[in-house]
Structure 1
């Protein structure tokens, strides 16, 4: 029995929140991709393939923001059984300052045969831009 698209999306959201890179990557199709159409500077537009996705997540996951929970998660199953639209609010903290961080996300995810072909992450870039600015403006504590 094939895993439903909804179940795969629920698993990938949990893996993302828990920074479970192995599970996240295993849910991706070998040539699947993640893209961020709206992103702050420094975030790649698209990652394609498990190796590239793994490398990026290994280098960046949990280094700037950690997420404790996703709230108000709504999964919309569509007329196309491969496509699920998910919306949620992510709550966590900036790693450097410990300050609270909130992010609103809408993602369009296409799943086929239990694997994610495409994950288009329409996050609100403004909280990230503001967080980056606040971290850059933070005194380094260095003397001289």
Structure 2
């Protein structure tokens, strides 16, 4: 049975919320990538391959924020069965400061054979810039 793009996006969101990074990473093709087209300084623009994704998510992002809840999640299926768009609000905590976090996210994913080959994450860069500044102020 073929796994639909919607199902893969749902699995990614569940793994992300559970902070199950190994499951999250296993849903990527070996050469799959994540891009952040809009980001503050200090955040990479692109991570290529499972190893880079793992290193960043576990080493840096996992120590920065913890998401507690995703709200208003909508997954849009497109006329291309390999492309899905997800829109949601992420609520959580900035780990080093304990400050609350609210981030609006839209992501465009391309999925082939049940694995993510591209994940473009259009998060709100102003929220991320404030998180990074608050951590630097410590």
Tell me which interval the TM-score lies in, with the shorter structure as reference length.
over 0.9
Bigger Rg, which one: 1
**Higher deviation after alignment, 47-56 or 111-120:** 47-56
Q: CA RMSD in A?
A: 1.0
Any unmatched runs of 5+ in structure 1? 139-144
Aligned to 1:83: 83
CA contact (8 A) 1:107 1:121 kept: yes
TM-score, normalised via structure 1 length = 0.91
Describe how 1:126-137 pairs up with structure 2 within 5 A: 126-137=126-137
Aligned to 2:38: 38
CA contact (8 A) 2:97 2:134 kept: no
Tell me which stretches of 4 or more aligned residues in structure 1 moved more than 4 Å: none
Q: Secondary structure at the match of 1:98?
A: coil
Please report how far the alpha carbon of residue 58 of structure 1 lies from its aligned counterpart in structure 2 after TM superposition. Answer: 1.8
Aligned to 2:18: 18
Any unmatched runs of 5+ in structure 2? none
Q: How many residues align?
A: 138
Aligned to 2:63: 63
- Counterpart-to-counterpart distance in 2, 1:98 and 1:75: 30
